Amino acid sequence: MTSLSLIDVPKIPVGDALQDFFDWLTAHGGGFFDSVSNVVGSAVDGIVNLLEAPDPVVLALVFALTGWLLKGWRFAGVALLGLLLVISMGQWEAAMQTLGLVLVSTLVAVVIAIPTGVLAARKRWASAALRPVMDLMQTMPAFVWLVPVVTLFSIGVVPAVIATIIFALPPGVRLTELGIRNVDEEVVEAAHAFGSTPRQTLFGVQLPLALPTIMAGVNQVIMMSLSMAVISGLVGAEGLGGQVTTAISTLNLGLGFEAGISVVILAIYLDRVTAAISQGNGGRRRGLRIRRPRPPAPEQEDHEEHGGSGPEASPLDGSTPADSTPALQRSGT
């Protein structure tokens, strides 16, 4: 059944234009995309091989020790139990593959996000230009990003990494810009008054003071990378996302829950560790506050008004000056 419309709105072939654009990119940029695919694939494979080299229990102990150093023994104990549960469910190899994908995606996203956020904080035109781009990247459904990256990079872990970077980039840019903008203007002006260059002010004042907010952005990048890494199993990426995809296609309830619980344990561990790092840097941030001189005590002000000498200048021995003796006592009995 066709609906009737009083006004005939012409169709704009947005989809056809995008399809032609990606066909042109594939035809003329095949060598570039192959190079990117080789570099990204090698990076992910290298990190996964490094994570899978030691015994799973040994690596779980290393992760627990890291949690103990950053968060405390309670978190270390809970993290160790959770990681041992992942091992017992047979999901350790898939978890390490997902962790490798998340680490590469997060590293690339942070390297791009922090300089972009600094530029947006220092240049209003850059902030105005980036805002609609970040809105598009953040509000577009996650599944949509899988279509163009598969068109450019085929199926496998590489399109999963590229789609994850696109999806996880906006929080890093936004929170970096927010942290730089929220630095106290008096502190920046004080740095300029002491002769600091813009570069020295940025690296010596603004970035250290904005570090807790930036680390919150890094935390969000990691969480969104992990969520996208699970979805990326639909394009052939290995790991927990591949396990979830297999469970959906075969209606394997047990496998789906085991992979899901492993994702939850990995997400909680990464979230608490990055939050602990952010809180630790907050202590350094407090040490950067400007110390203003305290106002002098009232006794000191009176001492300075009277010239700091004479019997009225608060004698140290506690004796009463002669002039301050009441008149009745001086008249005698």
DSSP sequence for 55-73: -HHHHHHHHHHHHHHHT-H
- Mean pLDDT by 10-residue block, N- to C-terminus, for the chain (333 residues)? 68 84 83 87 91 92 92 91 93 92 92 93 90 88 84 85 90 92 87 85 88 89 86 83 88 90 92 82 40 52 50 45 44 43
Q: Distance (Å, rounded) from C-alpha 120 to C-alpha 269?
A: 31
Instruction: For residue 279, give the nearest of 72, 60, 112, 115 by alpha carbon.
Output: 72
> Mapping DSSP to helix (H, G, I), strand (E, B) and coil, where does residue 254 land?
helix
How remote is the C-alpha of 157 from its chain's centroid? 23
Q: Which structure tokens are listed for 192? A: 């300029």
Count of CA atoms in the C-beta half-sphere (13 A) of 67: 23
CA dist., res. 266 & res. 96, Å (int): 10
Residue type, position 235, single letter: V
CA 174 – CA 21 distance, rounded (Å)? 29
CA distance 308 to 145: 77
Number of residues that this document lists for the chain: 333
Q: Of the candidates 312, 330, 309, which has an alpha carbon nearest to the alpha carbon of residue 321? A: 312
Q: How many CB atoms lie within 10 A of CB 46?
A: 12
pLDDT at 266: 92
- Position 329 scores a pLDDT of 44
Helix (H, G, I), strand (E, B) or coil at 11: coil
pLDDT computed for residue 265 by the predictor = 93
Give the pLDDT score at 2: 55
Which amino acid is residue 239, in one-letter code? Answer: G
pLDDT of 320: 47
Q: Are 58 and 92 in contact (CB under 8 A)?
A: no
Amino acid at site 43: A
pLDDT given for residue 316 in this prediction: 43
Q: Using CA of residue 258, residue 260, residue 275, residue 142, what is the dihedral sign?
A: positive
What does the DSSP 8-state code read for residue 75?
H
* Cα separation, 251 vs 141, whole angstroms: 25
Return the pLDDT at 78. Answer: 93
Spatial distance between the Cα atoms of 179 and 171, rounded to a whole number of angstroms: 12
pLDDT at position 153, please?
85
The answer to whether the CB of 130 falls within 8 A of the CB of 172 is: no
CA atoms of 162 and 125, how far apart (whole Å): 27
Residues 6+ apart with CB under 8 A from 207: 118, 180, 214
Q: Show the tokens assigned to 285.
A: 């941030």
| % helix, strand, coil for the chain, step of 5 | 75, 0, 25
